[in-house]
Every structure is written in structure tokens, then in C-alpha cells.
């Protein structure tokens, strides 16, 4: 079962609690996104904002989110309690959302929404990083997030039509608090299991980190892990337990009275040769990673535009506000089964081919949207989003991790969300807002199709034809 993939799980019961906690965290954190983001543009239009102002609000928030992802990604990477970081973020999201409903002035709203998005932006990235760290299957758990998104976007649509669009903010706050409670469950369960994972120390090499972990986990008794200078030639170990040093090995003259020391000649080369590294230099020096970020930047424009402006296309095609919720329910609801199918069959296909197929379908989809189909046709083709997003959301993260050294994977994923996801959203939402005012909603999706086509070409050139 999926929860058994955690290598450090201690018993079936605690493993089930861990898996359940992650499922609940994804369901309700993604439910918050489903409650707020698809209907936000309609809410802003309802309080008097035109297309350019709607684009300004959403793109400014995403601009703040770039720095937010880097800020929270660094805190998360170095934190000794990563659950607490996510809990703080979720509670702050709920608090800001409860204030947003009281604001209708454009300048005040854009500032407050930017502050709100400073906490909202890293939720997905940090959740994915935590899931990967715990060695749980990302696909099935991410599928649970899609279920939460789908169900609650429909609930929000029904609620908005019955009591008003302002209801989306208190509903958002409620589900994010439930997500925070789920993370508290995970935190409590891990403390019960006695699992302690210190934050990664960027001053140690990968070999030193691995050697240290192997030593710590194979010991017959608990030791205190010290990260610092090795013992000197004259240092002695007393009659109490001493720690495992992850720096240089002990010298030949080091003494040990009560425990066995490591022979430097038997140590890995990475341990013997302590080499600090700069994570940012490694990240920016990875050419394929940088090209992939650019490719993902163009590809994810379509998702950002569709999430914000699809309601305008649907209503222009003859649909209603409740129908918007139904459309998102169908589109996002089919993402979960597609993700489950992908987790079972992805091993049979090369990851590059899966991503290529999804990018082709995405480009064709938005090109067809630009023709202005009726709301019935939009509903009839709901499965296209499930097919595309189930591949792009999961496989893009996996491929991103594959391109990176394990020591900077968490940082790289955070930057992926900052640049490829939020960066593309900044440009696309701002440009799409002006296009909406000047040319209409169908031209917005023409713009999305062209961006998707650019990402498709880059991927074919650098990752299909020039595959190493």
C-alpha cells in the first residue's frame, strides 16, 4: 500500500495515520484553491474591476509569489520542523482571506491580495517537497488534491449563486484551517513515532550526508548527530555516548574507549574529502534545468489563463455561474482517475513521451477554445483537462527532480513553482487582462495556445531531438 513506501514508517497503524494525514492535507489545501481561484475573476468583476484590473490583481500576487516561494523554500529546507512551517502558512492564508471580503478599493485590494498570496503561493510546492521527502507516491496523493479541488469548486459555485460571490472567502478560510489541522495530525504522529529529521546542511557533501544517515540508522543505540569539526588528534571519547561527525574523519591518533571508530581508509571518498558547495551556483549552472524552466514557463501559461478566465468563456458561451462550478467539477474531477492511471502505467512509457503528448493536447485544446465553443461543448470535452494536468502536474515535478542533484532538489522544486508556475502566471494574467478588455475572451485563449506552442517547440528541440 502507498503508506508503506515511507522507509521510516514504524508499524502499519502509524503508516496509515501518516498516509491519511497527507491525503487530508492535499484534499483541503487544494480545496481552498478550488474555492477561490476559479471564481475570483467573477468576484472582482462583480465589485467593479475591469479586465486590466483583474489581470493586475492576479499578476501582482503571482509576482510576490516568486519571492515567497524562494523565501519559504529556504526556510523549509533549513527548518528542523517542516510541519510547523506549513501550519503557519495555512493559518495565515485563512486569516488574510477573512479580511479580503471587506475590501473593495482597487489599490487596497491589490496590496492585501499580494500579502495573502505571499502565504498561498508556496502551499503546493512545500506539500510536494514534504511528500517526496517522506517517500510517499506523489501521484495518488496529488490525485486526492484534485478531488478536493473538484468537489469544492462545485460547492463554491452553488454557494456563490445562492448567497453571493463573497461567500467564497469564508469558505476558503474554513477549508484551509482544516488542512492545517491535518498537518497537525502528521506532526503529532511523527512525534509519537519518535522520528527526527534535522534540516539538510548545505555545508556537507552528498557522500557525507549519506554516510552519516547510514551510520545513524544502523546503530544499535541512539546517538547525537553533530555537524561540525572532527575530533583532534588528542581528543578522547568519555564513558558516555558520543556523536557521529559528518565532517572530516577522525585522525589516526584519535582514541575511543567505549565505542568503535570509523577507519578513515574505509570511509567514502566524499567523507574523506569534505567539499562544501553553493546550492544556487549548482542550480543556475544546470543548463538543462534552466531550459526546462523556460519550456514549462510557456506550457503552464494555458493553465493559469484557463483557471482565471475560463468562467468568462463559459458564460459568453451561454453558461451560468453554477455551470462554471459544474465545469470545474468535471474538469478537475477527472484529474484524479487520470493520475491514478498514470501511476500504474507511467513505467511503460518514457517520461519525455508522456509530457510531449500532454503538451500537444494542451496546445490543441486552447486553440479550439479560441474559436468560442458553446458551454455544452466545453462541458463535453471536460476530460481534456484531466488528461493534460494529470501528466504535467506530476511528471513535470518528477522530471524537474531528475535534472537536479538530490542535495538541491527541494530548492529546485521551489524555484520551479516560482518561475515556471508563478512567473508564467504573472505575464499571462496581466497580458490576458488587457487582451480581454481590447479583443475579447476568445483572443485570450489564442494567446494561451500560442504560448503552449512555443513551449512545445522548445521541448521537442532540447529534450526530444537532443536527448542525452
Residue 215 above 80 pLDDT?
no
Q: Which residue has the higher pLDDT, 267 or 421?
A: 421
pLDDT band at residue 467 using 50, 70 and 90 as cut-offs:
low
- Banded pLDDT at 465 (limits 50, 70, 90): low
Q: Which of 403, 446, 451 is nearest to 423 (CA)?
A: 451
Task: Check residue 79 and give left, alpha or beta (phi > 0: left; psi -120 to 50: alpha).
Answer: beta
Place 229 in a pLDDT band, splitting at 50, 70 and 90: very low
pLDDT value for 199: 46
pLDDT at 220: 42
pLDDT at residue 39 in the model? 87
Distances (CA, A) of 138 to 72, 256, 293: 21, 44, 20
Q: What is the pLDDT of residues 60-75, one digit of tens each?
A: 887 887 788 778 888 8
pLDDT at 367: 94
256 or 317, greater pLDDT: 317
Distance of CA 65 to the CA centre of its chain: 12
Q: Is 379 exposed, middle or buried (0-12, 13-18, 19+ CB in 10 A)?
A: middle
Cell of 401: 527532480
Range with lowest mean pLDDT among 82-86, 144-148, 396-400, 464-468: 464-468
Least confident piece of the model among 6-10, 119-123, 462-466: 6-10
pLDDT at 209 over 80: no
pLDDT attached to residue 13 = 54
pTM of the model: 0.65
Q: Report DSSP state, residue 201.
A: -
Closest CA to 164 of 394, 24, 321: 321
Q: What is the mean pLDDT of the chain?
A: 76
Q: Using alpha carbons only, what angle is made at residue 391 by residues 347 and 388, rounded to the nearest 5 degrees?
A: 140
Which of 342 and 361 is assigned the larger pLDDT? 361
Q: Please, what are the domains in the chain?
A: 2-197+279-464 (1.20.1250.20), 206-272 (no CATH)
Decide which of 452 and 150 is more confident. 452
Q: What is each CA distance from 222 to 36, 216, 218, 242, in whole angstroms?
A: 47, 8, 10, 10
What are 190-199's pLDDT values in tens digits?
A: 777 665 554 4
**Nearest C-alpha neighbor of 427 from the set 332, 304, 287, 310:** 304
Mean pLDDT of 236-252: 39
Residues 6+ apart with CB under 8 A from 176: 28, 29, 32, 90, 91, 93, 94, 97
Q: How far apart are CA 277 and CA 206, in angstroms?
A: 10
Query: What is the model's pLDDT at position 201?
Result: 45
**Distances in whole angstroms, Cα of residue 232 to Cα of each of 49, 240, 249:** 68, 18, 10
Please report, rounded to a whole number, the percentage of residues in the chain having pLDDT higher than 70.
Answer: 77
Q: Using N-to-C axis directions, what is the helix angle for 51-78 and 12-46, rounded to 10°?
A: 160
Instruction: Check: CB of residue 31 under 8 Å from CB of residue 395.
Output: no
Average pLDDT over residues 356-373: 92
In the chain, % of residues over pLDDT 90: 17
Mean pLDDT of 107-111: 92
With beta carbons less than 8 A apart as the criterion, state whether 414 and 72 touch.
yes
Confidence of residue 346 (pLDDT cuts 50, 70, 90): low
Amino acid at each position: 500500500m502507498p503508506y508503506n513506501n515511507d522507509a521510516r514508517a514504524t508499524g502499519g497503524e502509524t503508516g496509515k495515520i501518516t498516509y491519511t494525514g497527507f491525503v487530508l492535507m492535499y484534499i483541503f489545501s487544494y480545496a481552498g484553491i478550488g474555492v477561490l481561484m476559479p471564481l475570483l475573476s467573477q468576484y472582482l468583476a462583480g465589485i467593479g474591476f475591469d479586465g486590466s484590473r483583474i489581470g493586475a490583481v492576479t499578476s501582482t500576487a503571482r509576482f510576490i509569489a516568486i519571492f515567497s516561494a524562494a523565501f519559504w523554500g529556504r526556510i523549509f529546507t533549513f527548518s528542523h520542523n517542516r510541519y510547523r512551517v506549513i501550519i503557519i502558512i495555512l493559518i495565515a492564508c485563512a486569516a488574510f482571506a477573512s479580511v479580503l471580503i471587506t475590501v473593495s478599493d482597487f489599490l487596497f485590494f491589490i496590496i492585501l491580495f499580494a500579502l495573502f498570496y505571499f502565504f498561498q503561493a508556496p502551499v503546493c510546492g512545500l506539500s510536494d517537497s514534504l511528500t517526496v521527502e517522506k517517500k510517499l507516491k506523489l501521484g495518488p496523493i496529488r490525485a486526492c488534491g484534485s478531488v478536493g479541488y473538484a468537489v469544492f469548486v462545485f460547492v463554491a459555485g452553488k454557494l456563490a449563486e445562492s448567497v453571493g460571490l463573497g461567500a467564497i472567502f469564508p469558505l476558503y478560510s474554513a477549508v484551509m484551517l482544516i488542512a492545517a489541522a491535518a498537518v497537525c495530525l502528521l506532526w503529532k504522529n511523527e512525534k509519537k513515532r519518535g522520528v527526527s529529521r534535522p534540516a539538510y546542511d548545505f555545508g556537507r557533501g552528498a557522500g557525507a550526508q549519506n554516510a552519516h544517515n547510514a551510520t545513524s540508522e544502523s546503530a544499535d543505540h541512539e546517538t547525537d548527530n553533530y555537524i561540525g569539526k572532527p575530533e583532534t588528534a588528542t581528543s578522547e571519547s568519555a564513558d558516555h555516548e558520543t556523536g557521529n561527525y559528518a565532517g572530516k574523519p577522525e585522525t589516526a591518533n584519535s582514541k575511543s574507549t567505549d565505542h568503535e571508530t570509523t577507519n578513515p581508509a574505509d570511509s567514502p571518498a566524499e567523507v574523506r574529502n569534505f567539499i562544501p558547495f553553493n546550492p544556487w551556483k549548482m542550480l543556475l549552472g544546470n543548463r538543462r534545468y534552466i531550459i526546462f524552466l523556460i519550456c514549462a514557463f510557456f506550457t503552464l501559461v494555458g493553465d493559469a489563463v484557463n483557471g482565471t478566465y475560463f468562467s468568462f468563456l463559459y458564460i459568453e458561451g451561454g453558461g451560468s455561474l453554477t455551470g462554471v462550478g459544474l465545469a470545474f467539477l468535471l474538469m478537475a474531477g477527472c484529474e484524479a482517475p487520470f493520475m491514478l492511471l498514470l501511476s500504474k502505467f507511467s513505467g511503460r512509457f518514457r517520461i519525455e513521451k508522456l509530457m510531449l503528448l500532454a503538451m500537444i493536447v494542451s496546445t490543441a485544446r486552447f486553440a479550439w477554445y479560441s474559436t468560442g465553443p458553446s458551454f455544452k461543448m466545453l462541458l463535453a470535452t471536460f476530460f481534456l483537462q484531466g488528461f493534460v494536468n494529470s501528466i504535467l502536474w506530476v511528471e513535470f515535478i518528477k522530471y524537474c527532480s531528475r535534472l537536479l542533484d538530490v542535495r538541491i532538489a527541494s530548492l529546485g522544486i521551489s524555484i520551479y513553482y516560482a518561475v515556471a508556475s508563478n512567473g508564467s502566471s504573472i505575464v499571462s494574467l496581466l497580458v490576458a487582462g488587457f487582451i480581454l478588455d481590447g479583443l475579447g475572451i476568445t483572443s485570450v485563449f489564442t494567446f494561451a495556445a500560442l504560448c503552449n506552442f512555443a513551449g512545445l517547440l522548445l521541448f521537442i528541440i532540447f529534450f526530444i531531438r537532443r536527448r542525452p
